[in-house]
Structure 1
Amino acid sequence: MNAVFGVLFHFIGGFASGSFYVPYKKVKGWSWESMWILGGLFSWIIVPPIAAWLTIPDFVNIIRLASYSTLSYTFIFGLLWGIGGLTYGLGVRYLGVSLGSSIILGLSMVFGSLMPSIYYFFNETAGKHGIDYFFINQSGICILIGLLICVIGVCLCGQAGISKEKDLTSLSTETKSDYNFGLGIVVAIISGVLSACFNFGIESGKPLADVANEIWKTNHPNHGEFLYQNNVTYIIILWGGFTTNFIWCVYLLFKNNTFSDYTKADAPKGKNLLLCALAGTTWYLQFFFYGMGESRLGNGASSWILHMAFIILISNAWGVVLKEWKGVNKKTYRSIIAGIVTIIISICVVGFARTLEN
């Protein structure tokens, strides 16, 4: 049952992440930097401590008593991930929700799932798998197969994006919107690699989660692992992410003179604020449920792969719903559908791998 609930929690988290950008697309009269930093305040500063306070009453002391190395490494990975998260927004802007998310999160999935195992191969740690696990263990081999299948699905989505660019050359400027495959793919690669640093931050901040887990298990014996143990770790990671995004967005607000967005008479300020708050809160929920899934499956490659795969799946589904593929030919449309189906298959394979281990 742990595997079933773990997959379910990752699905909910993936749905939240794959859906968070949709409210941003409804914001009117504001620049990208105006809405991104406002939504980020909810994602990184306001909601995480509230979630920790509701689930881990002693979280402030856990942070205060943590070692300097734990906090610093967790924060640094948060900074790097912040660059990935920052460029994620740009990647989605230039490539669309479905294609942008597919490429960025596909790269993040590969790097985030395999890089920690390479580290643990050379630095053996109890409860952690080295890279050899994926070649000598039945469950590990199945996880690797699922990862490869998902990469194929991402490639199909990428091929659909290339075809989409060709199809859109005959459409109006309004229909093309901000779509720019050349610029978008460069941004997406940078974002995909650095976005994997969130998983590294979770690994670095694991001592914080372990303390929260032990406190809970002491007060609730024989109840298994603490579902919300990672909520304290997220606070430090997201401080790092906020720092990066805040600096860049303030720079853009000055450079583009877009501070005035918040006082525009023709902009629906109340509605825009609510949409940004909804987007930011929805974004945070992805990791709230990721932590719940991780507590059931473990913070290994399978958790990260499932999380990324569900996000790619949901974001592509939104791309179809939002008609981002409107105007493309049937071959292009079949390619994106094939990519979605392939990713669904990869999710099933990784989920099955966990049953082999358990």
Structure 2
Amino acid sequence: MSAAAWGGLAMVLVAGALAGNCMLPMKFTRRWHWENTWLVFSLVSLVVLPWALALLLAGNVMEVYRGLSPVEWLLPLALGAGWGIAQVLFGLSIARLGLALGCAIIVGLGSLFGTLVPLFFKNREVLGTARGALILCGLAVMVAGIVVSAQAGRRREQGQGKSSGRGYRMALALAVLCGLMAPMVNYSFAFGQDIADRAMRLGVPATHAGYAVWPVGLAGGLIPNLVYSFYLLFRNRTWSVFHGPWAADAGMAALMGVFWMGAMSIYGVASVYLGALGTSVGWGLFQIFNIMAANVSGVLTGEWRNAPAGALRTLYAGLVLLACATVILAAGNR
């Protein structure tokens, strides 16, 4: 690989580490309920930071937007909204199906289609080449690693006496739908490149032009997240929680937003360095590092304490498969 591609790979590694740990601060909230934290997280990650980065790094971003046709901004907006719906479905399906199987379906489908769809629509000619064969092989190993990691999670839950959830058939349908919609945040970025192209025509460097895409796509994702947060706040009558001491929990929620948007923005820059396949192979690598970081973080923070030895061995096997998938996908991106 070229020096630029190696740099892109390093950035995807950092992005994956941030994404894999973006929910970690939620463990340290004390008073706030899930919906209080999620509301602030959504506002920081989907409004404040995308706009701040765009205004700081994407030149005269309002001039970029003024010159767009309706299709050029409606497509990434709609795809972002689909991803926002997937965020809501994720919580619902995990609650009913269990973390291990739910994540295997959702993350597996999201990683697979998030890689294949941009590849098929934007670089279809690669599929019939040796590079394409390597990429497909890497995807197969990646999915195997995700499934094995999920199996480790199931064994951990069984060993710790945790339930796998209820309403299996409905939960399974929700998980499949969520997995199909989850990569829409990547579609929004990949198919929002007309916005980045216009930014570059106005003098914005290629590595910064992607910052102009995020406010549009993530605005679509904001709506479902806000609606669901407001619904829970009213249903659970947890608005009053905001009236008490708030600084520590708000800081944790904001830190979640910094981690998540930091991950997405670094991934966006990395996709440029990775070349023509940046939004396909790059997405697969991003998801691999995301899963690996989340699992390692789980071990370090005690989630696997008292887990059976067999569950840990299965987890390590899954991580080895994901590491192998990284090597194969990186080779396919040469």
In the superposition, the TM-score normalised over structure 1's length comes to: 0.85
Give the structure 2 partner of residue 74 of structure 1.
76
Does the 8 Å CA contact 2:190/2:279 hold for their aligned counterparts?
no
Give the structure 2 partner of residue 150 of structure 1.
142
Does the 8 Å CA contact 2:85/2:224 hold for their aligned counterparts?
yes
Q: Secondary structure at the match of 1:286?
A: helix
**Which of the residues 235, 250, 259 maps onto 1:255?**
235
**Which of the residues 290, 294, 305 maps onto 2:271?**
294
Q: Identity of counterpart residues, as a percentage?
A: 26
Q: CA deviation at 1:253?
A: 0.8
Distance 2:101 2:44 in 1: 26
Give the structure 2 partner of residue 215 of structure 1.
202
Give the structure 1 partner of residue 9 of structure 2.
7
Distance 1:350 1:4 in 2: 13
Does the 8 Å CA contact 2:79/2:187 hold for their aligned counterparts?
yes
Q: Cα 1:92–1:290, aligned 2, differ >3 Å: closer, same or farther?
A: farther
Deviations 1:117-173 (A, max 9, x none): 44x2xxxxxxx311x632x2111111111111111101101211222232122xxxx
Distance 1:326 1:183 in 2: 28
Q: CA deviation at 1:77?
A: 0.6
**Does residue 284 in structure 1 map to residue 261 in structure 2?**
yes
Distance 1:168 1:341 in 2: 24
- Give the aligned residue type for 1:160: A
Distance 1:269 1:143 in 2: 47
Deviations 1:38-63 (A, max 9, x none): 11110001011111111112111111
Unmatched runs of 5 consecutive residues or more in structure 2: none
Deviations 1:294-342 (A, max 9, x none): 1111344211111111111111111111221222211111111111111
Alignment of 1:15-94 (within 5 A): 15-88=17-90
Distance 2:202 2:57 in 1: 12
Does the 8 Å CA contact 1:113/1:302 hold for their aligned counterparts?
yes
Unmatched runs of 5 consecutive residues or more in structure 1: 121-127, 170-175, 218-224
Give the structure 1 partner of residue 126 of structure 2.
133
- Give the aligned residue type for 1:256: N
RMSD: 2.2
Distance 1:231 1:87 in 2: 27
Distance 1:91 1:16 in 2: 24
Does the 8 Å CA contact 2:196/2:209 hold for their aligned counterparts?
yes
Deviations 1:239-283 (A, max 9, x none): 00111101111111111111111124xxx4110011111111111
Give the structure 1 partner of residue 286 of structure 2.
307
Distance 2:26 2:94 in 1: 11
Distance 2:54 2:262 in 1: 12
**Does residue 191 in structure 1 map to residue 178 in structure 2?**
yes
Deviations 1:162-208 (A, max 9, x none): 22232122xxxxxx5xx645579645444322111112211331100
Distance 1:41 1:7 in 2: 29
**Does residue 274 in structure 1 map to residue 254 in structure 2?**
no
Q: Secondary structure at the match of 1:216?
A: coil
Distance 1:148 1:105 in 2: 13
Q: CA deviation at 1:230?
A: 1.1
Distance 1:256 1:142 in 2: 49
Q: Secondary structure at the match of 1:326?
A: coil
